[in-house]
Amino acid sequence: MQKIEMGMEEPWFKDPGVADIFGGRADVDTIEGTNIVIRINDEFIDMVELSVARFHDDDWVWDTPNAYGYAEDIDTAKTAAMKRGWHEAMLRLREEVATEVEGPLDRIAKTAAAAVRERREKE
């Protein structure tokens, strides 16, 4: 049986190195990022990069590889990025594994998302 792990291996961190994804509109000092890492049998498979930044007009923007959006504050931006990021991570994982494991993967995703929500509530 394959051992599948998905998770955020590091907390949100300051990441001015990705300023270019915001097209020069972000306040570089506010840019933060993190990654959802996907492993199968302890082998690194892929990761989904998440970023947030404050634009000079006070809007917060979140970004994932396949989507972006606006939020009123940093916490809302991070939550939106994580929600979309988990969705994208599941899509990537499904590309890597056989379709017969989709049911267990759905349960893993729901469990992981619940753990993230609980962790966020405790912060």
How far apart CA 81 and CA 67 sit, in angstroms, is 9
Q: How does pLDDT run across 19-52, given as a tens digit for each residue?
A: 999 998 999 999 999 999 999 888 898 999 999 9
H or E, element range at 95: helix 74-96
Average pLDDT over residues 61-70: 96
Asked whether the CA dihedral 113, 63, 19, 17 is positive or negative, the reply is positive
Task: Tell me the whole-structure pTM to 2 decimals.
Answer: 0.76
Place of tokens 């994208």: 88
How far apart CA 107 and CA 57 sit, in angstroms, is 40
How far apart CA 51 and CA 116 sit, in angstroms, is 16
Of 29-33, 81-85, 110-114, the range with the lowest mean pLDDT is: 110-114
Average model confidence (pLDDT) across the chain: 89
What's residue 121's pLDDT? 87
- CA torsion angle 87 92 96 99 (round to 10): 40
